[in-house]
Amino acid sequence: EKGLYKHFMAKEIHEQPGVLADALARYLTPDRAAVRLPVPVDFTSASRIVLVACGTAHYACHVAKYWFERFARLPVEIEVASEFRYREPPLDAGTLGIFVSQSGETADTLAALRYVKATGGRTVAVVNVETSTIARESEVALPILAGPEIGVASTKAFTCQLAVLAALAITAGRQRGTLDAAEETRLSTALATAPGLLSRALALEPEIAEIARDLSRASDVLFLGRGSMYPLALEGALKLKEISYIHAEGYAAGELKHGPIALVDDAVPVIVLAPTDPLFDKTVSNMQEVMARDGKVLLLSDAAGISWAGEGTWRTLALPTLDPFVAPIVYAAPAQLIAYHTAILKGTDVDQPRNLAKSVTVE
């Protein structure tokens, strides 16, 4: 039940610190200094990883690509299930397919899983519904432990998917000898801070509700990010369009000058997701290109980032200072709240947006 919340989506957004902490308790050692998977996964025989999913789960895979490449130094492909299944790509026994699905029933993701099995590859499912078809048909099924997600817009499943994929990427790095114990401890400790940081990000809700007043009058919104924040830009845009029906697009910040900047004027809010990470300066220079064209920038960063680059922006949202590794998990919260409050002001049916189903069991 919704309890004190008006919508399941609001309830599920606010449940995140709790469910994420519970999930991490199953994936980290009690001292939080290392990862321990509830079911073993062998990465030593893999020559490449293929991450397959749809929608928000695909964006979780997109973030995970950055982690697997960095920690395990393995080639990683990310695939939209509906394209992958019909392309019939050449695969071999060295392929480790990871299938991410909240429901575990998405028809295209299931077909992709069956394809990888048929070509001799190995299969791991990352699911919320542990009794689902995708969980049953894969060799290994890892639960994300988000609890039932009722709102059509995926929220807590996304952050829990990220936590499990982060644990998998760290495990892959350890097994392949590309991540030493000290580095695993640093990453695991950082991961353990995510629930607390997410709660602090959720405390920005009153400010976000205020910003949403302007956003609800926009007809187009752009989201920008670099590195592992690029998929967050895609996810922020998907969330906004699916529940508020405002046209929104996410772009890699560096792609802006290759086309999308033509859309920018003083009527187009541009939401920049920029924690102070090694790519921060690059993102800021893309943001300044937007401002030079009268773009209305909403900068999401930490206090240091905002004091460095906040001047001249339309609005800023100060997120907690964090290890950039966990930024995709923490910045998901404001992206979800931006969509939620904008949709509320538009008067749309937040939990059951038009034309959408919670589980897409037909292709």
Query: Which residues are known catalytic residues?
Result: 358
82 near ligand M6R, judged by CB under 6 A: no
Using CB under 6 A, which of 16, 82, 95, 106 touches ligand M6R?
Answer: 106
- Residue window 226-245: x/- pattern of binding to ligand M6R, with contact defined by CB under 6 A: ----------------x---
Three-class SS state of 144 = coil
Which residues have CB under 8 Å from 362's CB, separation 6+? 107
350 near ligand M6R, judged by CB under 6 A: no
User: What residue number has its CB nearest to ligand M6R?
Assistant: 55
By rule CB under 6 A, what count of residues binds ligand M6R? 16
Residue closest to 144 by CA, chosen among 49, 225, 60, 80: 60
Which region among 42-50, 151-159, 303-311, 314-322 touches ligand M6R (by CB under 6 A)?
A: 151-159
55 near ligand M6R, judged by CB under 6 A: yes
Residue matched to tokens 């997109």: 62
Using CB under 6 A, which of 16, 101, 244, 336 touches ligand M6R?
Answer: 101
Residue matched to tokens 């950039």: 324
CA–CA distance, 137 with 121 (Å, rounded to integer): 13
Nearer to ligand M6R, 235 or 277 (CB): 235
| Shortest Cβ 360–ligand M6R spacing (Å) | 5
Using CB under 6 A, which of 185, 189, 352, 359 touches ligand M6R?
Answer: 359
Rounded to 10 deg, the angle between the 327-346 and 230-244 helix axes is 20
* Six token digits for residue 248: 């929104």
Using CB under 6 A, which of 35, 61, 113, 153 touches ligand M6R?
Answer: 153
CB 202 within 8 A of CB 334: no
Residue closest to 78 by CA, chosen among 95, 68, 65: 65
DSSP state of 261: G
Residues that bind ligand M6R (CB under 6 A): 54-57, 101-103, 106, 109, 152-154, 242, 356, 359-360
